[in-house]
Amino acid sequence: MLALNAPPGQDPVRQPFVHYRCHCNHANSHSSKSGNASEGAGTTPSAEPGTGTGTGSGQGSDNRDAMNIDDASKSQPASPTQEQPSSQTETSDTTRPSSALVLAGQQPGEASSSFQPQNETDKALYSSGNHSDTHGSIPLSRLYFCDSCDELRCPKCVQDEIVCYYCPHCLFDAPTASVKTEKHKCSRNCFYCPLCQATLSVVSEDPDATLYQSNPTDNAQYYLLCNMCLWNSQDIGVTFDKPLSLTAQLQKDDEALPDVREFARLKDHFEKYFRSTKSSLPSYLASPSYSTGYSSTSRYLSSVTSTLSSHRTQQADDIAHYTPAVQVMESTENLEKLMSIVSIKETTTMKQRLMALQSQSYSPQRLQPQRIHLRIKKLRRCRSCRHILVKPDQKGNSFGFKINLIALNQLPNITIVSIQRPMIVQTASQVILRFTNPRHEEAHVSLQYGDGASPSHGVAIRSPSFSISPFNEVWEYEVGTIAAPPGATMEDVYERTANSTCIALDITPAVAGEVK
């Protein structure tokens, strides 16, 4: 198979997107490095050492540009806003929340460019959804733009609400009312393989039977089969009479288990004591959609504490003693089995065990197929003004958006067109940046050096102020570069195409290093 001969895992394609820093007050755990303070981080778009290995922390400002070059896809300090006062250079990234944005003659918000560190993908596995790099900068692809506040919004300053639940396998919308009772799992025929966590398919023993046969024959037995590791449910003795609503059939077996019955008995026993007081679970917690974020959790907390305290005082002695119906013996059978295994393949891996938290069996023969967890469609709101930034389609199978206010449509994207190689220390080499304007109006961009107005650290910006033509759909159909529209002032730009402008920067590396 080609996959086996594949070259060793290379770095996945990194999104070539400029990173912006959001002005929200949500402190990023990554940005607490000491390097931040020394670089004058935060709003100053100075050359920040990008890699998370801490090459930049503590180093003097002289080497900043050298390290800037060390990291690929990093664009030079581009501070399009001139409104930022210089006093902000010392502050960390939790600055005041306003980024001055002027709509007409669109000056985009704070742009601090840095590089996504090498181990970003590893981090993504452990901190899912956290796409910021070590300095709290987030790629443009993940940012939103609130048009009523005129500000950038990072994923942390948006509030998520759940629109609907759907199963990632059958793509059916789960009715919101039954989501809680079904424990947020698909209630149809979707299961994970207990060994390899691929999805299982329902097959019939009878090779001529189809899945959706209207009148299944009596002796047609259906079972689950994993297409990846070829595990099938016949090995653990789980077969079905009908190919549909398998979870209901499995649930009946589940209910016969002694621990599930014991739990049901416990619940009945204690429920009558709690039912007498008025405090049942708050209704808004039972339904998955919250209208207000923080206020509901605070209300819930206060109601829970009041419930507990009232119970303790009134009914502590009212609860009768409960005798369990099943006596659990200390079983040494498991221990003996574990002591006698020869190879590691005879036990389950941690991942397999943790898929079934109730049983967590040690032997692979006792692993059961697990139902598939539901995924959600999220509605994203700006935290300050409560406007909706992203609103997905409510209708079941379509995954479009009714409202989608992404920053990509507002802020210019900065990409590196070319870097003159080889880069030699103390010699100027040219880096060409392209600014792409997504809006229908012309954009004016001004570049600033990191530490003020003077050209510093070997970076020379040839065109400190330029404009980018607006985006025009008609030009999409024309291949090739378009000449500058008439009437545009000729600044010293490298190249001007349909809705993007390239500028050249001369960089003189101070220190030899690796150019990625």
Partner 1 sequence: MELPVVHYSKSEYIETDTGNKVSRKSVICGSQNIVLGGKTILQTGSVIRGDLKRSGASNFVVVSAGRYCFLSQSCIIRPPCKAHKGAFNYFPVKIGDYVFIGESSIVQAAQIGSCVSIGKNCVIGKFTIIKDCVRIEDNTVIPPNSIIPPFSVYRGSPGKMVDELPESIREIYEARCKDRYTKFVPSVDA
Q: What is the CA radius of gyration of the chain?
A: 30
Tell me how many degrees the CA angle 352-127-349 measures, rounded to the nearest 5.
15
Cα–Cα distance measured from residue 429 to residue 423, given in angstroms and rounded to the nearest whole number: 6
Binding site for partner 1 (CB under 8 A): 1-3, 6-7, 9-10, 12-13, 15-16, 72-73, 124-125, 128-129, 141-142, 166, 168-171, 196-199, 201, 207-208, 210, 226-229, 375, 390, 399, 401, 404, 406-409, 415-417, 419, 434, 476, 479
Give 199's strand partners.
Answer: 192
Residue 361 to residue 394: CA distance in whole angstroms: 40
Smallest gap, in angstroms, from Cβ of residue 186 to partner 1? 12
Asked if 347 and 362 count as a contact pair (C-beta separation under 8 A), the reply is yes
Closer of 390 and 504 to partner 1 (Cβ): 390
Q: Which is nearer to partner 1, 166 or 449 (CB)?
A: 166
Least distance CB 355 / partner 1 (angstroms)? 12
Contacts of 320 (CB under 8 A, 6+ apart): 269
CB of 290 to partner 1, least distance (A): 21
Query: Which amino acid appears at position 157 of this protein?
Result: C
Q: Which is nearer to partner 1, 268 or 477 (CB)?
A: 477
- Give the orientation angle of helix 258-276 with respect to helix 246-255, to 10 degrees: 80
CB of 336 to partner 1, least distance (A): 34
* 72 and 50 Cβ atoms separated by less than 8 Å: no
244 or 417: whose CB is closer to partner 1? 417
Q: Which is nearer to partner 1, 390 or 503 (CB)?
A: 390
213 close to 358: Cβ distance less than 8 angstroms: no
Q: Are 63 and 85 in contact (CB under 8 A)?
A: no
In the chain, the amino acid numbered 15 is: Q
With respect to partner 1, which residue has the nearer C-beta, 41 or 374?
A: 374
**Nearest residue (CB) to partner 1, 47 versus 195:** 195
Shortest approach of partner 1 to residue 147 CB, angstroms?
A: 15
Taking the complex as a whole, the smallest distance from the CB of residue 323 to partner 1 amounts, in Å, to 45
Q: Token pair 């250079």 is at which residue?
A: 89
Q: Is the CB of residue 341 less than 8 Å from the CB of residue 365? A: no
Say whether 71 sits in a helix, a strand or coil: coil
- Closest contact distance (angstroms) between CB of 436 and partner 1 is 9
